Chains A and B, each alone.
Chain A
Amino acid sequence: MGQIIEYIKSYLDSNQTPGAAGNMFWAFVYIVLVFLGLSVAVIAMNWLERKILAHMQVRLGPMRVGPHGLLQPIADAIKLLLKEDIMPAEADPLVFWMAPLLVVLAAFTVFVVVPFGPTHAITDMNIGILFMLGVSSLSVLGVVMAGWASNSHYPLIGALRSSAQMVSYEVAMGLAVVSAILMTSLNAEGTGTLSMIGIVQAQQAQGEWFIFKFFPLGLIAFFIFAVAMVAETNRAPFDLPEAESELTAGFHTEYSGFRWSLFFLAEYSAMIAVSSIAVTLWLGGWLRPFSTWLSGSTWDLFFSLFPGITFLFLAGMCFYSTAHMPKHPYFRIQTVGLAGFGAVLGLIGLLLFFPLVRDRVGDIYWFSVKVAGFMYLYIWYRGTFPRYRFDQLMKVGWKILLPMGLGVLILTASVALLQQKIWHP
């Protein structure tokens, strides 16, 4: 028994990720935490997307289930789980069954290496970024399988579009990633890293996020990635594989109920995954903003208060809405529920002010905030842009993004070489 406690305790002193420390217990705890956090994030994203999109479109969005529709995602989840599981008679049962599982597996597995903080990751792989790109591109296999197994025309066209699209955009995406990885080698030893944690630490050591590095080269590489990642996740304006007005629902036309919800889950967790890559590579991962410009312990303290303030702000919004709920007795439960939700958020906020907690969650907070910014962008795109046509999509991928990516890569390498050999030999 004591040995086990010792085993559990031993990790707390080591300043490493549980995977790197080889501690299975903590690795398991982290996996559970990441999985739960991701599920909550997908649920929250579901609600937020509907609400934000609705407000962009001069409507209210869900308002019925729970106060301001807060329980709508849960109601939807229950509905999907209770739905009849339909498999088309002509479908290939095994492939049809495997496709959503594969997509979900690919979408969740990548989170093994996502660094929420210097020690807050399940593991630190020395090929982390390669692992992430590789595993996340497995999901295209699931999409193709889904389209093929459905044995129906619309899913087939959707799957064809999807495979072509994902493969094309991965090229440009890869080039952008390489140019960021190149920047990690700009240190005294001249050795770069593929480890996700290492990439952020390189940005910390160089005192500059890679988006601002060699301005505007870092920015262009980031832009290429930001476009390619939207295409990679099949979201508007690149949502051709599931283009509703053309292909009804694309590759998941024949899916319903729980299987469909797996695709949904995978789509949103893939969005979070690619956003995490972008944040890690260009936006300094868990680093707080202005860490070189506004340095010093006072500023550290100031920025460490942000998590608590955010939650208190959310709580304040809840209380504000509570005060503006309809006064009719029918709304009593909803009003109380909203106030209770606000109280929980407020308590979490207060908890986050304690120094012990504050120092532990700071990095997770900044990482999540940056990812959340990307999620907002996704919703914004969806509310603004029409959909690309297939040939135009290919044109953007191969004729614009790919040459741009190559150019940025070459320029980055040249500038880095010049900097190392000539300016600061």
Chain B
Amino acid sequence: MTDPNALSPLDLETPEKPFLDANELVINMGPQHPATHGVLRVILRLDGEKVLGLECVIGYLHRGVEKIGENRTYAMFNPYVDRMDYVAAVSNGLGYCEAVEKLLNVEAPPRAQYVRVILTELNRLTSHQLWLGTHALDIGAITPLFYTFRDREEILKIFEKYCGARLTTHAFRIGGLQYETYSGFEQEVKNFLNFFRPKIDEYEELLTTNRIWVERTKKVGVISGADCIALGVTGPVLRASGVKWDLRKAQPYSVYSKFDFEIPTGQNGDTYDRYLVRMAEMRQSVRIIEQAVEAIPEGPIMAKVPKVIKPPVGEIYHSIEAPKGELGYFIVSDGSTQPYRVRVRPPSFVNLQALDVMCRGAMVADVVAVIGTLDIVLGEVDR
């Protein structure tokens, strides 16, 4: 390896070398490894503790979700998308429903839109909580995990009360919502926000100024904004590199244009900035939910959608800002009840590309930190 920062394909075929060769060590990290967040396999090439290069091997969780989509009706495919990013199932559902609605040329009624925003932002909180807990655990701090899971439980209770499921919620339907909100929904969301606001400070107290945490995350896994754009990296990772790009503001969907919120950005594009950006995003999500829950309009929750959904011939690409980045659905319709092709642009899969760039020249411990900070979900990477 002449230039460790060069973006060249890795030569992982090691030639025959004598026993006890002290130059390079090739390690398989995963697919069964506590810190690869599922079944990611990373082939590491090490010089002692230093990473010379790495390659991700994915596909251990491949279920052919896109192919399944071609053999299901539009409504039947809706629950499948929850299983991609199972940590943020509501966001997946929102993206899919909106894409099909665009294809059908219908729009969900305002009340449904507001409830959608509330649930999606709550889901962003759960996703970020899970990221924070596991990321801190990877870096060696075990306690934040339990704090975040304690508070995540309160959100899952709201989901459960609303639609019966906690994780893979299938909360939305094409054209609106299936269920009216339960009585006391608004109050419960407000109660949760009041409960949760000081909890973000509690998480930050444990980590933000912790000397070891700062040392472990600052200048680790640095990626520039230009590199992010070149690799297609989106979401908090992109924003932490100084690019102010959030689809909720850049191309507002649903009713996001009606709310007042900011896009937190970082400057250095390192793990610490990504941490700060996500923490700030949680606060912004709280702000959005606060405004939305005050302004839920009365009215129907379902638009006029035919019983059998047969979109006109055509294609659509619709993307939303999922907790992990840009989640896009490209759906081709041939006029039948089943999509001709569903292509998902998952943020985790695209962001994972940056792992090699971010890890070259770093230490083994940094690889774990970077995998954590990319916030990947293997269900979404492999689909």
Q: A interface vs B, CB < 8 Å?
A: 53, 56-59, 153-154, 157, 160-161, 236-237, 239-240, 243-248, 382-392
Given A385-B140, A386-B213, A392-B215, A248–B147 Cβ distance below 8 Å? no
- Cα–Cα, bound, A392→B140 (Å): 14
Query: In the complex, are the beta carbons of A388 and B215 less than 8 A apart?
Result: yes
Query: In the complex, are the beta carbons of B34 and A388 less than 8 A apart?
Result: no
- What is the distance, in angstroms, from A394's C-beta to the closest C-beta of chain B? 10
Q: Which B1-42 residues have a C-beta within 8 angstroms of A? A: 25, 27, 33-35
Is the contact region of chain A dominated by helix, strand, or loop, or is it mixed? helix
- Chain A residue nearest to B212 in the complex (CB): A386
Query: In the complex, are the beta carbons of B363 and A248 less than 8 A apart?
Result: no
* Between-chain CB contacts (< 8 Å), 20 pairs: A53-B142, A57-B143, A57-B145, A58-B146, A58-B150, A154-B27, A160-B48, A161-B49, A237-B212, A245-B34, A245-B368, A246-B35, A383-B143, A384-B206, A385-B140, A386-B207, A387-B141, A387-B212, A387-B365, A388-B140
- Cα–Cα, bound, A385→B25 (Å): 30
- What is the distance, in angstroms, from B192's C-beta to the closest C-beta of chain A? 17
User: Would you call B257 an interface residue if the criterion is a C-beta within 8 Å of the partner chain's C-beta atoms?
Assistant: no
Query: In the complex, are the beta carbons of B366 and A153 less than 8 A apart?
Result: no
- Chain A residue nearest to B372 in the complex (CB): A245
Query: In the complex, are the beta carbons of B137 and A245 less than 8 A apart?
Result: yes
| Set of chain B residues within 8 Å of A384, measured between Cβ atoms | 141, 143, 206
| Set of chain A residues within 8 Å of B49, measured between Cβ atoms | 157, 161, 390-391
- Cα–Cα, bound, A237→B211 (Å): 12
Q: In the complex, which of the residues B48, B143, B366 contacts A56, with contact meaning CB atoms closer than 8 Å? A: B143
Query: In the complex, are the beta carbons of A157 and B364 less than 8 A apart?
Result: yes
| Set of chain A residues within 8 Å of B136, measured between Cβ atoms | 386
Q: B interface vs A, CB < 8 Å?
A: 25, 27, 33-35, 46, 48-49, 136-143, 145-147, 150, 206-207, 210, 212-213, 215-216, 363-368
- What is the distance, in angstroms, from A329's C-beta to the closest C-beta of chain B? 31
- What is the distance, in angstroms, from A144's C-beta to the closest C-beta of chain B? 15
- Cα–Cα, bound, A390→B363 (Å): 8
- What is the distance, in angstroms, from B31's C-beta to the closest C-beta of chain A? 13
| Set of chain B residues within 8 Å of A56, measured between Cβ atoms | 143
- Cα–Cα, bound, A161→B363 (Å): 12
Given A243-B365, A245-B35, A246-B368, A389–B146 Cβ distance below 8 Å? no
- What is the distance, in angstroms, from B21's C-beta to the closest C-beta of chain A? 13
| Set of chain B residues within 8 Å of A59, measured between Cβ atoms | 146
Q: In the complex, which of the residues B35, B141, B147, B367 contacts A385, with contact meaning CB atoms closer than 8 Å? A: B141
Instruction: Count chain A CB atoms within 10 A of each CB in B140, B146, B215, B216 and give the residue with the most.
Output: B140
